[in-house]
Structure 1
Amino acid sequence: MSITKTHELHKRRFGRNVGVGLLLTAFIFIVFGMTMVKITGGDVSGALQGKGKIENGD
């Protein structure tokens, strides 16, 4: 609990930081989802369950 009153600027900065954090989190999930789809060829359910297909280059 703070003795001094929180300045209005700090409230706005906190709100902006929360917004940037949410946008960053959304961006990370979008990139992760696109990566999973690209790696698995569209079958994400098998990849999330750990059923990976190992391909040998031979």
Structure 2
Amino acid sequence: MILHKCTETELDDRARRAEHHMNIALESRRWNLAQRYREEMRAVAAECARRDKKA
């Protein structure tokens, strides 16, 4: 899903889901997966910041 088409609720859900999966990956020491979910969280945060600047 393209982030700029997501609603605020969908962005929140994506961030929560990414954080949850990142924590599981860290506990399992799956560093590559943890990095991928960390990047997802950063992408969502960047989209939220972009929207805040627009408003």
**With structure 2 as the length reference, what TM-score do the two structures score?**
0.46
Greater fraction of residues in helix: 2
**With structure 1 as the length reference, what TM-score do the two structures score?**
0.44
Higher relative CO (Cα under 8 Å, sequence separation at least 6) belongs to 2
